[in-house]
Amino acid sequence: MRLGVVGAGVIGQLRAQSIRENPATELVAVFDTSSAAAARGVGGSNARAVGSLQQFMDIDMDAVVVSSPPHVHEEACIQALERGRHLLCEKPLSNTVEGCRRIVDKAIEMNRVLAVGFNLRYYPAIKFVKDTIDSGRIGQLDHLRVFGGHEGLPKFRIDWQYKAPESGGGAMMDVGVHMTDVARYLLGEITEVSGVMTETVWNVPGSEDNAMAVFRSPGGVSAIYQATWTEWKGYKFYVEAYGSLGMVRGAYAPMQNMIITQDRPGGARKTRWNMYPEIIVREKLKTWHSTALLSFAGELRDFLQMTSGNMNVPLADGYAGLRSVEIAAAVRESSEKHQVVKLSALGRMKAIHG
């Protein structure tokens, strides 16, 4: 498969590397508004570095990876789909709900794969949580707790990362959107949202510092959610799943799991930890980029599966991208109106046909 990358910043460089390193894929073009970034993305391959979207779209390719800032995703996504290319877009799919819907609708109209870069699904600690729930080891799932945050504005290099007109919001659209997706991935679907947001610490209009919410699945299982830009201890995310026979926790950074099991509610408990020393050592040498790169390689392999009609993979699809942004908007609406916001179930996108 021949792929091109739009946006070759921190994430786009890693996306381009994952394409260059996969024997089943070829990097044919990199577009960035910075010619230096585009050239870096090419990384010694035969790909072309180009400086305009038009030039990029005119190059023959099968699929596009979009890793530019969120407010410019839509233009590149729509053009790629209109040219009949499959698409893997970074999170958030767009900075607005309407933008996400237009991208999803275009993918359906064009019968192309639309995947979204919710790469935490590929982090070993999150995979362990998913597998543990699915195996029944913690019994019947009762509820989840999900958390994602960091210390806010000092973390950002560029305005689009936190100013609402570009980012689409605050903590929820940044690390929060990943945790919304993890919650939905584990619950199956989210159709009810109630929450509160605050905007009192950083005072960036439209960009919440904190969002605290409860999500519910159609079957009535809940997730308690917090996305924050006031986590003074530094970047962290975790998910905890509680069931009738125990609990399982997946956390990062560092990558870690804890699982507690019991033979009956209140019975003798066993606790076990996964500490992932090889990941901790590798990150000391090669930073968090090495963990992200492995997750991008996994996403790319499953993207190829999706383009051959197999949707039975962990890779997030367009509906996951849309629902995570709808949920951020729903928490905002719920906070303003003091009401529960209901959403109809989306499920999984259908495999492409023909």
Ligand X SMILES: NC(=O)c1ccc[n+]([C@@H]2O[C@H](COP(=O)([O-])OP(=O)(O)OC[C@H]3O[C@@H](n4cnc5c(N)ncnc54)[C@H](O)[C@@H]3O)[C@@H](O)[C@H]2O)c1
Considering only 1, 2, 26, 33, the residue that binds ligand X (CB under 6 A) is 33
**37 near ligand X, judged by CB under 6 A:** yes
Least distance to ligand X, CB of residue 120, Å: 7
Opening angle at CA 279, ends 278 and 282, nearest 5: 85
**10 near ligand X, judged by CB under 6 A:** yes
Kind of pairing between the strands at 246-252 and 141-149: unpaired
Which one, 247 or 300, has the nearer CB to ligand X? 300
Least distance to ligand X, CB of residue 46, Å: 21
Which one, 12 or 139, has the nearer CB to ligand X? 12
Considering only 17, 22, 25, 119, the residue that binds ligand X (CB under 6 A) is 119
Which one, 10 or 275, has the nearer CB to ligand X? 10
Considering only 69, 188, 206, 314, the residue that binds ligand X (CB under 6 A) is 69
Which one, 179 or 352, has the nearer CB to ligand X? 179
Considering only 117, 124, 139, 152, the residue that binds ligand X (CB under 6 A) is 117
Which one, 117 or 318, has the nearer CB to ligand X? 117
SS3 for the chain is CEEEEECCCHHHHHHHHHHHHCCCCEEEEEECCCHHHHHHHHCCCCCEEECCHHHHHCCCCCEEEECCCHHHHHHHHHHHHHCCCEEEEECCCCCCHHHHHHHHHHHHHHCCCEEEECHHHHCHHHHHHHHHHHHCCCCCEEEEEEEEECCCHHHCCCHHHCCHHHHCCCCCCCCHHHHHHHHHHHHCCCCEEEEEEECCCCCECCECCEEEEEEECCCCCEEEEEEECCCCCCCEEEEEEEECCEEEEEEECCCEEEEEEECCCCCCEEEEEECCHHHHHHHHHHCCHHHHHHHHHHHHHHHHHHHCCCCCCCCEEHHHHHHHHHHHHHHHHHHHHCCCEECCCCCCCCCCCC
C-alpha closest to that of 14 among 88, 112, 105? 88
**121 near ligand X, judged by CB under 6 A:** no
Give the interface segment with ligand X, choosing from 62-70, 103-111, 190-198, 248-256 (CB under 6 A).
62-70
Least distance to ligand X, CB of residue 147, Å: 16
End-to-end CA distance of the chain: give it in Å, rounded: 17
Is the separation of the CB atoms in 63 and 303 below 8 Å?
yes
**11 near ligand X, judged by CB under 6 A:** yes
Give the interface segment with ligand X, choosing from 67-75, 95-103, 262-270, 300-308 (CB under 6 A).
67-75
Is the separation of the CB atoms in 215 and 181 below 8 Å?
no
Considering only 4, 70, 169, 318, the residue that binds ligand X (CB under 6 A) is 70
Considering only residues 315 through 344, tell me which ones interact with ligand X, judged by CB under 6 A: none
**9 near ligand X, judged by CB under 6 A:** yes
Task: Using CB under 6 A, count the residues that bind ligand X.
Answer: 23
Considering only residues 75 through 104, tell me which ones interact with ligand X, judged by CB under 6 A: 90-91
**36 near ligand X, judged by CB under 6 A:** no
Considering only 6, 50, 248, 279, the residue that binds ligand X (CB under 6 A) is 6
Give the interface segment with ligand X, choosing from 69-77, 78-86, 137-145, 328-336 (CB under 6 A).
69-77
Give the interface segment with ligand X, choosing from 9-17, 99-107, 227-235, 343-351 (CB under 6 A).
9-17
- The residues that touch ligand X, with contacts defined as CB under 6 A, are 6-12, 31-34, 37, 67-70, 72, 90-91, 117, 119, 158, 292
